[in-house]
């Protein structure tokens, strides 16, 4: 079974070959590879797995129980 973890993009670094985002997971931040979602911007909510952003979460279906900031 795989576990996907939601997070909020804090910042994006596109200076390297692979875009890297700093993502907030409820107060814990990690650097996440954005190869699959290179258009993500700060404030976007991402679904991540094993250090890789899998997709941008649609805000119209975002579960309030998973709200991470604010």
Confidence of residue 4 (pLDDT cuts 50, 70, 90): confident
Q: Mean pLDDT across the stretch 33-45? A: 94
Task: Write out the two tokens for 66.
Answer: 């998973």
pLDDT in tens, 10-34: 999 999 999 999 999 989 999 999 9
Give domain 5-62's CATH architecture: Roll (2.30)
Q: In which band, very low, low, confident or very high, does the pLDDT at 5 lie, cut at 50, 70 and 90?
A: confident
Q: What pLDDT does residue 58 have?
A: 76
The residue ranges of every structural domain in the chain are: 5-62
> Which segments of 1-70 are extended strands (E)?
5-13, 20-25, 28-33, 45-49, 52-56
């Amino acid at each position: 079974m795989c576990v996907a973890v939601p997070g909020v993009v804090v910042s994006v670094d596109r200076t390297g070959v692979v875009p890297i985002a700093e993502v907030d997971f409820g107060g814990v931040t990690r650097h996440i590879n954005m190869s699959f979602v290179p258009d993500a911007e700060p404030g976007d909510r991402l679904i991540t797995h094993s250090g890789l952003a899998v997709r941008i979460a649609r805000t119209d279906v975002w579960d309030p129980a998973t709200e991470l900031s604010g």
